[in-house]
Amino acid sequence: MDAHLSTPISSIKGIGAHFGARLEKLNIVTLKDLIYYLPFRYQDFSQIMPIAHIADEGTATVYGEVQTIRMYRTPRRHLYIIEATIADDTGTMKAVWFNQKFIITTLKQGTWVNLAGKVAREGKRFVLQSPEYEIISRTADPHSGKHTGRLVPIYPETKGVTSRLVRFALSKVIPELQTLPEFLPDDLLHKHHLPAIGEALYRIHFPRTLEEAEHAQNRIAFQDLFLLQLINASEQHALSSSPAHAFSYNADAIKKEFKTLPFELTLAQKKALYDVLEDLKKPHATNRLLQGDVGSGKTIVAALAALIVARAKKQAVFMAPTEVLATQHYVTFTKFFPHFDMGVALLTASRSALFLGEGLQTEMKKKDVVAHIAAGRVRIIIGTHAVLQKSVVFDDAAFIVIDEQHRFGVRQRAALTARTNVASLSPHFLSMSATPIPRTLALTVFGDLELSLVNQMPKDRKSIITKIISPAGRDGAYQFIREQISQGRQAYVVCPRIDPVDTRTNADTTQTDADRRIKKPKKQSLFLMEARAVKEEYEKLSRKIFPDLRVAMLHGQMPADEKARTMRAFKDGKTDVLVATSVIEVGVDVPNATIMMIEGSEHFGLSQLYQFRGRVGRGEHQSYCFLFTDINSKTTRDRLKALVTAKNGFELAEIDLRLRGPGQFLGNEQTGMPDIAAKAAQHPDFVTATRQAAQELIATDPTLSQHPYLAAYLKFFKQSVHLE
Paired residues of 429 in beta bridges: 287, 400
Give, as ranges, the residues between 561 and 590 that touch Mg ion (CB under 5 A). Answer: 587
Residue 106 DSSP one-character state: H
Q: Position 505: which residue type?
A: T
Closest-approach residue to Mg ion (CB): 587
CB crowding 445-477: b at 16 or more within 10 Å, else e: bbbbbbebbbbbbbeeeeebebebbeeeeeeeb
**Shortest separation between residue 432's beta carbon and ligand ADP, angstroms:** 7
**Nearer Cβ to ligand ADP (460/548):** 460
98 binds, among ligand ADP, Mg ion, none (CB under 5 to 8 A by kind): none
Is residue 117 close enough to count as binding Mg ion by CB under 5 A?
no
**Shortest separation between residue 300's beta carbon and ligand ADP, angstroms:** 5
**Shortest separation between residue 434's beta carbon and ligand ADP, angstroms:** 5
On whether the CB atoms of residues 450 and 308 are closer than 8 A, the answer is: no
Per DSSP bridges, beta strands 315-320 and 397-403 are parallel
384 binds, among ligand ADP, Mg ion, none (CB under 5 to 8 A by kind): none
**Shortest separation between residue 252's beta carbon and ligand ADP, angstroms:** 20
Count CB atoms within 10 A of the CB of residue 532: 16
Give, as ranges, the residues between 122 and 161 that touch Mg ion (CB under 5 A). Answer: none
Nearest to 35 by CA among 7, 63, 56, 61: 7
**Nearer Cβ to ligand ADP (453/481):** 453
Distance between CA atoms of 611 and 120, rounded to whole angstroms?
Answer: 51
**Nearer Cβ to ligand ADP (145/383):** 383
**Nearer Cβ to ligand ADP (615/683):** 615
**Shortest separation between residue 656's beta carbon and ligand ADP, angstroms:** 19
**Nearer Cβ to ligand ADP (611/636):** 611
Q: Position 183: which residue type?
A: F
**Nearer Cβ to ligand ADP (458/674):** 458
**Shortest separation between residue 298's beta carbon and Mg ion, angstroms:** 5
Backbone angles phi, psi at 429, to 5 degrees: -115, 140
**Shortest separation between residue 261's beta carbon and ligand ADP, angstroms:** 8
Angle of CA points 560, 563, 569, to nearest 5°: 140
Angle of CA points 275, 277, 278, to nearest 5°: 65
Paired residues of 627 in beta bridges: 468, 598
589 binds, among ligand ADP, Mg ion, none (CB under 5 to 8 A by kind): ligand ADP
Sign (positive or negative) of CA dihedral 132, 138, 144, 149: positive
Using a CB cutoff of 8 Å and minimum separation of 24, what contacts does 654-660 make?
654/438, 655/606, 656/605, 656/606, 656/607, 657/438, 657/440, 657/441, 657/681, 659/507, 659/606, 660/505, 660/507, 660/605
Distance between CA atoms of 685 and 218, rounded to whole angstroms?
Answer: 12
**Nearer Cβ to ligand ADP (145/587):** 587
**Nearer Cβ to Mg ion (291/440):** 291
Cα 718 → chain centroid: 17
On whether the CB atoms of residues 313 and 380 are closer than 8 A, the answer is: no
Burial (0-12, 13-18, 19+ Cβ within 10 Å), 687:
buried
Helix, strand, coil % (nearest 5) of the chain? 45, 20, 35
**Shortest separation between residue 291's beta carbon and Mg ion, angstroms:** 11
**Shortest separation between residue 616's beta carbon and ligand ADP, angstroms:** 12
111 binds, among Mg ion, ligand ADP, none (CB under 5 to 8 A by kind): none
Closest-approach residue to ligand ADP (CB): 297
292 binds, among ligand ADP, Mg ion, none (CB under 5 to 8 A by kind): ligand ADP
Helix, strand, or coil here: 288? strand
**Shortest separation between residue 275's beta carbon and ligand ADP, angstroms:** 15
**Nearer Cβ to Mg ion (66/265):** 265
**Shortest separation between residue 571's beta carbon and Mg ion, angstroms:** 15
**Nearer Cβ to ligand ADP (228/643):** 643
Whole-angstrom CA distances from 645 to 467, 607, 613, 640 are 11, 13, 14, 9
State the residues that interact with ligand ADP by CB under 6 A: 263-266, 269, 292, 294-300, 434, 458, 460, 587, 589, 618
**Shortest separation between residue 609's beta carbon and ligand ADP, angstroms:** 16
Burial (0-12, 13-18, 19+ Cβ within 10 Å), 103:
middle
**Nearer Cβ to ligand ADP (145/297):** 297
**Shortest separation between residue 455's beta carbon and ligand ADP, angstroms:** 11
**Nearer Cβ to ligand ADP (133/258):** 258
141 binds, among ligand ADP, Mg ion, none (CB under 5 to 8 A by kind): none
**Nearer Cβ to ligand ADP (295/605):** 295
Burial (0-12, 13-18, 19+ Cβ within 10 Å), 534:
buried
Per DSSP bridges, beta strands 112-122 and 125-135 are antiparallel
Distance between CA atoms of 65 and 392, rounded to whole angstroms?
Answer: 77
Nearest to 399 by CA among 279, 234, 300: 279
Site of interaction with Mg ion (CB under 5 A)? 587
